[in-house]
Amino acid sequence: MSENILLEVKDLKKHFRVRGSLTKKVRAVDGVNFYIKRGETLGFVGESGCGKTTLGRLVLKLIEPTSGKIFFEGKDITKAKGRELKEYWRNAQMVFQDPHTSLNPKMTIASILLEPIRFYKIDVGDEEEFLAKQMELVGLGREHLYRYPHELSGGQKQRVAILRAIITRPKFIVLDEPTSALDVSVQAQILELLKDLQRKFSLTYMFISHDISVVKYMSNRMAVMYLGKIVELGPSDPLFENPLHPYTKFLLAAVPIPDPKIARSREKILIKGEPPSPINPPPGCRFHPRCPFAMDKCRREEPPLIEVERDRFVACWLYASK
Amino acid sequence: MEGKLELPEGVVLKVEDLVVKFYTYSGVVHAVSKVSFYVKEGETVALVGETGCGKSVTTRALTRLIESPGRIEEGRVLFRRRNGEVVDLLKVDFETLRQIRGNEIAYIFQDPTSALDPLYTIGFHIHETIEAHVGKIPKKETLRRGIELLRQVLIPSPEVRVKNYPHEMSGGMRQRSVIAISLSNNPRLLIADEPTTNLDVTVQAQILDLLEKLQEQYKMGMILITHNLGIVAEVADRVYVMYAGKIVEEGKTEQIFYNPQHPYTKLLLRAVPDPTKKIEKLESIPGVIPSLINPPPGCRFTDRCPYAMDKCRREEPPLIEVEPGHKATCWLLVKRG
């Protein structure tokens, strides 16, 4: 495996059992392959239920995959347990969507931040001095250290959550909708902070969001998910300008553009209906019931994710013949 | 009695100097301070602002849906009724108000799940809404109307869906149903409070498209409350930008997007990532919204404004017209001398 690749995922699956049924399964993530290079941001977009959050949790081993493999720095960590897993988490961290629930309301900011330090027995010298320095990284003053989460604003809380994730100096961070609970002006602050920290500590990000504009702004490459599968993956700019998969086309056309002239002059293509349930996904290509280009083959056979242009991958029979 | 109230031709709603305060234990919250705006027939007006700027309170106050400890303190809300009569919604008796709510003015709230009663079918919701305004009516008749409405909001197999309970539908379906219910009495004014915030983008695009079409068909005025500038650019005719309980800028959508005047509007527009453009850096607005318990005198944006002057702290800026229909409240726009 190339030195350059930090994380690689092969045919990863997660099926959840449905309560009250022995056979029904939610195929939340159903055979996903991708890699993330060192220092890059790989964005994941998709609508609710497409499995992007489950994928983020799988990658960090917060939940056990049903099958498939996860490699971190070339090492198979799929079956990692105990000490090995602890070591992995020192290098791979997560920031959750809602800072109101991801910070323990009974702990002060200082004790929240000291938890990982003590867990990994990291020698930081004078704890208070260390924390005050760290707080500067995310633009907070030391006066916040002895406050409780409820005394901070949403943006400040998310800064604390980010600091908690980077305090052990990990290499990789999964950001699961880190700005979805925030206002636009605060969102901009947090996004800039994340970019800044990425440069400073050469971090690698997996950025998950339903907001395509935000993902495009943050990511070098992005992956579009539909019903547990990646349908398209490629560098963000070309992917946005020239989407290949029919679903990507519909998805991107639905993104509101904050520019009235462009918003009103572009062609409106509306997709019919809503994504079907991942409990019994349609056979063949999962998008075929809603796809205007569906052919016979699409109903029978699942299209593989293939490279159609340099670095551009798409799972669609329209491109498979070439 | 006052003299006969009047509204300019084609205007369905005009709000003048609306003031809403909340009397809480920690102090008086000045949620809405002297807000004025108007809506024409068939027009979509967007009320834009971030959390806590008072946009929802403003629209709830229009039909006096403010509960204790909130109080509507000042202002007039002139509304042209279906019969042409102009009334001040803040003064009319409760029965008149009841007749207007849900009939001439309808609301769509953000969360369709809590807007629907889980114990009743969609059909019953529509029946109830119609019956409240026309009096006793056989269920058969409202059922027919219900099916027709559900068809209009593009719900597949409406004959089946009309008998569904809210939990049997997806989020997008529920929001469509709520829209259908709000349309049951052909309202003259539709107030949509973040109607697509919890929905996926593809469903959001469907709902916005639907609202635009229905609006044309019914010639409704629409107030769209949103924090999403993308949605504003897509559907609004005119925009009011709110900050900390006040309107800081108003104008046609193009004027606001291509020639913003107020520093807050300028910064806000640069804080939104536009996927069609290459952006080097997003503009972030430093600081936080001031507390509305003791709002600073003068301009409420002073503390976060890069151009703040001494005067901004002391005196409230006047509303200046920069081009026809485009106004902003900022001292920078006041010519010296």
Inspect the interface and report whether the beta carbons of B279 and A187 lie closer than 8 Å: no
How many other C-beta atoms can be found within 10 angstroms of the C-beta atom of residue A28? 23
Inspect the interface and report whether the beta carbons of B268 and A212 lie closer than 8 Å: no
Strand partners, A44: A208, A223
Chain A CB within 8 Å of residue B293 CB: no
Chain A CB within 8 Å of residue B306 CB: no
Looking at the predicted structure, is the pLDDT value of residue B46 above 80? Answer: yes
In whole angstroms, what is the distance from residue B269 CA to residue B263 CA?
Answer: 10
Chain B CB within 8 Å of residue A188 CB: yes
**E-state strands within A38-179:** 41-45, 67-72, 75-76, 92-95, 172-176
Where do runs of H (alpha helix) occur along chain B?
55-62, 94-100, 112-115, 122-134, 139-152, 158-161, 171-182, 201-218, 229-235, 253-258, 263-271, 310-314
* Residue found under tokens 């497409």: A50
Chain B CB within 8 Å of residue A270 CB: yes
Chain A CB within 8 Å of residue B231 CB: yes
Q: Please give, rounded to a whole number of angstroms, the shortest distance from the CA of B253 to a CA of chain A.
A: 7
Inspect the interface and report whether the beta carbons of A260 and B281 lie closer than 8 Å: no
Chain A CB within 8 Å of residue B157 CB: no
Inspect the interface and report whether the beta carbons of A217 and B254 lie closer than 8 Å: no
Fold of A5-320: Rossmann fold (3.40.50)
Closest CA to B124 of B144, B139, B104: B139
Looking at the predicted structure, is the pLDDT value of residue A1 above 60? Answer: no
Share of chain B above pLDDT 70, in %: 98
- Of the candidates A237, A259, A271, the beta carbon closest to that of B274 is on A259
Which of B:200-229 have CB within 8 Å of A? Answer: 200-206, 209, 227-229
**B122-126 mean pLDDT:** 95
Indicate the SS3 state at residue A266. coil
In whole angstroms, what is the distance from residue B47 CA to residue B39 CA?
Answer: 11
Q: What is the pLDDT of residues A4-32, one digit of tens each?
A: 999 999 999 999 988 888 788 889 999 99
Q: Please give, rounded to a whole number of angstroms, the shortest distance from the CA of A48 to a CA of chain B.
A: 7
- Of the candidates B206, B228, B283, the beta carbon closest to that of A188 is on B283
Which of A:134-173 have CB within 8 Å of B? Answer: 153, 155
pLDDT of residue B337: 41
Domains and CATH numbers, chain B: 11-104+187-286 (3.40.50.300), 118-186 (no CATH)
Looking at the predicted structure, is the pLDDT value of residue A185 above 50? Answer: yes
Task: Specify the pTM.
Answer: 0.90
Q: What is the pLDDT of residues B274-315, one digit of tens each?
A: 999 888 889 888 887 888 998 888 999 999 999 999 999 999
**B230-247 mean pLDDT:** 95
In whole angstroms, what is the distance from residue A195 CA to residue B101 CA?
Answer: 48
A229 — phi, psi (to 5°)?
-130, 155
Looking at the predicted structure, is the pLDDT value of residue A317 above 50? Answer: yes
Chain A residues lying within 8 Å of B50, measured CB to CB = 183-185
B219 pLDDT band (50/70/90 cuts)?
confident
Tokens of A163: 């600091």
In whole angstroms, what is the distance from residue A215 CA to residue A220 CA?
Answer: 9
Residue of B nearest to A256 (CA): B230
